[in-house]
Structure 1
Amino acid sequence: MVNAPDDAQRDSIRYRAMRDIVEQMQDDVPGKFEITKEGIVHDMMAPGRPHELTAARVSRRLEKSMPDEIVAHTGTPDVEGAPEGIMRHPDIMVIAEADMEGQGSFDPRTLIAAVEVVSQSNPDNDWVSKMRDYPLLGVPIYAIFDPRTGTGAVLSEIHPTPEGPRYAIRKDFVYGEDVTIGEWTISTDALPRYA
Structure 2
Amino acid sequence: MTIAPDDARRDAHLYQAMREFVASADDTLPGKFEITQEGIVHDMMSPGRPHELTAAQVSRRLEKEMPDDVLAHTGTPDVEVEAEGIMRHPDVMVIAVADMEGEGAFDPRTLIAVIEVVSRSNPENDWVSKMRDYPLLGIPVYAIFDPRTGSGAVLSDIHRTPDGPRYATRKDFLYGEDVTIAEWTISTDDLPRYA
Given residue 142 of structure 1, which amino acid in structure 2 is its aligned partner?
Answer: Y
Distance in 1 between the 2:17 and 2:173 partners? 39
Structure index of larger Rg: 1
Distance in 2 between the 1:9 and 1:156 partners? 24
Question: SS where residue 46 of structure 1 aligns?
Answer: coil
Aligned to 1:185: 185
TM-score (ref. length: structure 2): 0.94
Which segments of 5 or more consecutive residues in structure 2 lack a partner in the other structure? 1-6
Question: SS where residue 164 of structure 1 aligns?
Answer: coil
Instruction: Compare 62-71 and 16-25 and name the one that shifted more.
Output: 16-25
Q: Structure 1 vs Structure 2: percent identity of aligned residues?
A: 78
Question: SS where residue 121 of structure 1 aligns?
Answer: coil
The Cα shift of 1:11 comes to: 2.5
**What does the per-residue CA deviation read over 1:139-173, in whole Å, with 9 as the maximum and x for residues that have no partner?**
00000000000000000000010111000000000
Give the direction of change, closer, same or farther, for the CA distance of 1:159–1:58 in structure 2 (3 Å limit).
same
Aligned to 2:125: 125
Which segments of 5 or more consecutive residues in structure 1 lack a partner in the other structure? 1-6
Aligned to 1:23: 23
- 2:175 corresponds to 1:175: yes
- Regions of 4+ moved over 6 Å: none
Superposition RMSD in Å: 1.3
Instruction: Compare 25-34 and 129-138 and name the one that shifted more.
Output: 25-34
Given residue 60 of structure 1, which amino acid in structure 2 is its aligned partner?
Answer: R
What is the correspondence of 1:1-195 to structure 2 with a 5 Å cutoff? 10-195=10-195
Aligned to 1:3: none
TM-score (ref. length: structure 1): 0.94
Question: SS where residue 193 of structure 1 aligns?
Answer: coil
